[in-house]
Structure 1
């Protein structure tokens, strides 16, 4: 569940109206003016500076409400399980019931000079109702870069604000500058995270290439919001290249190289240490900076219009993660079949996902870093499993009995890859079993790799005029890895984690 957007961590608050963010916005605005006027708008100004260009305006918006109910949620905001929270006895551990309401409103305005040149700004207001939402259930302690660190639970701001020129000098090259969504492939690694109550934006400059047979993006961004811990994490950058070859109809092949750089030399509280959560703290030095590279490729398509589809992706990570050398990878394989001649369009499919984990505290990092995905639609709808130290097999099916109504079901099997590494949620938080070393994640000692199974049912109904409804129920069958967990270190009391349940109801109006 994307509960992490609700609250994250330890009294982290954005500083309204001050600090680094206004300076960054001013920088992007100034850079956009300097860049776009002499390039994309050059032809208009050749006719005379006094000529007034007509502007077309378009307005769009959406309002979305969601209610969520949890029974036996295994995560807390600190990223650890209930046994580590300090409660006593299995009653608190296993019998928790939580619910909350989420409301997100967006309004956007597009101002166009023509089809090639326009500006867009989108305002967003995100609210929660119900105190349970404040607990968040995912942690700032997560070892992965993550944008979901809001602690205020209610937030109003600018989620998109950019200028775009599609064809510079009538070439296939374009330019997009400002706050924007980055969405690539199936959003397993980079996405806008629409399920989140906040979404996921980047302050970025992007050079685009669009052609009949190839699309490419070269981008550089600073994260927004950057980690809001006393404004000390303002130097985290995400950049890269993504290209898609459309070599034949119905098939695409893409390749990418992403870079993640953390140039900070400070940590929350000013303790003078910088650390991978899976390694021991160490003194800050000029060489402690992170530069993580992700090199990958993806293919997807349908074979000959038969209804038989496929998708596959492989990514390799290397570089430095604070003081550790990185060697990690992930891959996925999916196949499905849709009965295209049947009115109700039934389909079934299967998917396999593998993301590496780490087996020791040897100074090398083998746990795959999930980057900035839209995780909700991957690895189960409950968001209890993320693409780190995991092996998953998914069986899925769906049908559209009437044009407005679609039904889906899925059953997933989850195994840990390494018993010495943690179980990671979709938003990066950890559920670990501490070993002798007591280091989070890397010194976990699981007695089994069998994490459990998840059953998901969901439906969507399109009413009319942009009004829609969604609902779902999910159940997690805990595996042997979650049996006999110690809840009280003093008495060594052991309990079995009971099966979590999750229900959601959602509706929205898009216009």
Structure 2
């Protein structure tokens, strides 16, 4: 079992032994200010539970290469969160820790990283950095890579880093643990074959083992195809799970995604359509768990900015447009038509393991609702290091919301980000 923090501490010791032939440190700083507001997330406008949040996040990156193929990468981070809700008032959280800290080695076709690091693969539906969060996804462990010609393969044994801070709550004003990662290990292989620079296929196998009184031992395996042909791009992905969910309960689940886009020259505009689907669990078989679960969820980027859904017990038809009327301005528009696969099953939250609305054998409605997301990204012309992002989203609930809660009012979400890199 991997011990939290031990690996990157070893890295710090090894750094001291690397001496001759080193280049200068390459450094950068990323400072982000984000204001966001949450309006009527329970879909009941008669209850005043609106909230706002102000987050400050600082990344410092430092990398140094050595002539013998070794390199060192350090990325400390600090975050400060101020959150206000009507019920709990204003609460604050601050934390500093290491996001990444690893020793790397690369020689020809072979590479290895040991220490705290991020894993980013494919469309990041399963493993990714999820840079949206103030406390991002990162792992302690080792990753080895092989790359030759059109083939690239990574193998890794890692444990999710114990970065515990999250958003403060009424019960945990200093922040709650993102999840309890004690005694959890991910072992995986991820391979990619390229037919050409923009077209190819991925295949992967990830084992998620968690024996801290729960007994999970699940295999997640799948494939992803991607390609660009002139003005057309497309991606398809299918992933399956088997193994043990908890002691005495088997895991059997799957999830699917397909998307395509067409680009026109006018304002570099892309029109897209996407379909995401994962069969649900109607909870009738207590010996079988059929909801797809995540070794390390990255759902925020895919199924709506408002985080009402994960890739489990769901169907999502997404229509999108992305256009850049000027060199510095990009506009994004997305409409999600969301529904449950099984009305009787649990409606799962963005993490995929928590229940947003519990299922019931009497439920018959699957229409979850429609989410509309509008985003503006502006790279300030005379300040190249500064980027402004503004987003506004509305979730219009469907019959499934009213059946579960009796509420039917729209919810809204907005944020404004200023990101400065230097």
User: Do the structures match in fold with TM over 0.5?
Assistant: yes
Deviations 1:272-316 (A, max 9, x none): xx5xxxxxxxxxxxxxx111100100011111xx21110000001
- Residue of structure 1 in register with 2:222 after alignment: 296
Q: 2:387 aligns with which of 454, 468, 474?
A: 468
> Per the alignment, in what secondary structure is the counterpart of residue 427 of structure 1?
coil
- C-alpha distance 27-505 of structure 1, shift in aligned 2 (>3 A): closer
Residue 162 (structure 1) aligned to one of 91, 97, 102:
102
User: 1:153 is paired with a residue of what secondary structure?
Assistant: strand
Q: 1:101 to 1:133 in 2, by over 3 A?
A: farther
The match for 2:275 is 352
Which of the residues 343, 346, 350 maps onto 1:422?
346
**Conserved 8 A contact 1:181-1:201:** yes
Alignment match, 1:60 = 28
Task: Return the index of the structure with the highest Cα Rg.
Answer: 1
Indicate which of 204, 209, 213 corresponds to 1:261: 209
CA distance in 2, matches of 1:292, 1:184: 19
- Structure 2 distance, partners of 1:96, 1:480, is 22
Aligned twin of 2:130: 193
Which residue pairs with 2:67 in the alignment?
114
Deviation at 1:130, TM superposition (A): 3.1
- Find the aligned partners of 2:307 and 2:16 in 1 and give their Cα distance: 41
Q: Could you say which structure has the higher strand fraction?
A: 2
Give 1:28 deviation, angstroms.
Answer: 4.8
1:331 aligns with 2:299: no
Q: Give the structure-1-normalised TM-score.
A: 0.74
CA distance in structure 2 between the partners assigned to 1:294 and 1:152 by the alignment: 37
1:123 aligns with 2:76: yes
Shift of 1:386: 1.1
Q: Cα distance 1:471–1:416, how it changes in 2: closer, same or farther (>3 A)?
A: same
CA-to-aligned-CA distance 1:314-357 (integer Å, 9 cap, x gap): 00100001121111000111011001x33x11111100000121
- Larger CA deviation: 379-388 vs 186-195: 379-388
Partners of 1:460 and 1:510 in 2: CA distance = 15
Residues 232 and 124 of structure 1, relative CA distance in 2, 3 Å threshold: closer
Change (3 A) 1:232 1:248: closer
CA distance in 1, matches of 2:252, 2:272: 31
Which residue of 1 is the match for residue 308 of structure 2? Answer: 384
Matches of 1:327 and 1:24 in 2, distance apart? 30
* C-alpha RMSD over aligned residues: 2.8
Deviation, structure 1 residue 374: 2.6
Secondary structure class of the residue paired with 1:386: coil
Match of 1:70 among 15, 38, 45: 38
Matched residue pairs, number?
A: 403
Distance 2:137 2:34 in 1: 18
Unaligned runs of 5+ in 2: 165-175
> Partner residue of 2:328?
404
**Deviations along 1:369-425, whole A, 9 cap, x unmatched?**
133233222011111111111011000112100000000111111110112211122
Could you tell me which residue of structure 2 aligns to residue 172 of structure 1? 109
Secondary structure in 2 matching 1:328: strand
Query: Residues 177-326 of structure 1 correspond to what in structure 2 (within 5 A)?
Result: 177-225=114-162, 234-265=182-213, 274=214, 289-303=215-229, 306-323=230-247, 324-326=249-251
Distance of aligned partners of 1:165 and 1:415 in 2 relative to their CA distance in 1, 3 Å threshold = same
Q: Rate the CA distance shift 1:405–1:115 in 2: closer, same or farther, 3 A.
A: farther
CA change 1:54–1:226 in 2 (3 A) is closer
| Greater relative CO (CA pairs within 8 A, separation 6+) | 1
**Residues 236 and 134 of structure 1: CA distance in aligned 2, closer, same or farther (over 3 Å):** farther
Task: Spell out structure 1 runs of 4+ moving beyond 6 A.
Answer: 31-37, 226-229
Quote the Cα distance in structure 2 between the aligned partners of 1:211 and 1:32: 30
- Cα gap change, 1:69 to 1:33, in 2 (>3 Å): closer
Say whether the 8 Å CA contact 2:50–2:86 is kept in structure 1: no
Q: Which residue pairs with 1:432 in the alignment? A: 357
Aligned partners of 1:313, 1:27: CA distance in 2, in Å?
33
Residue 357 of structure 2 contacts residue 404 of structure 2 at CA under 8 Å; is this kept in 1? no
CA distance in 1, matches of 2:211, 2:348: 25
Displacement of 1:53 after TM fit? 3.3
Which aligned pairs between 1:71-90 and structure 2 lie closer than 5 A? 71-74=39-42
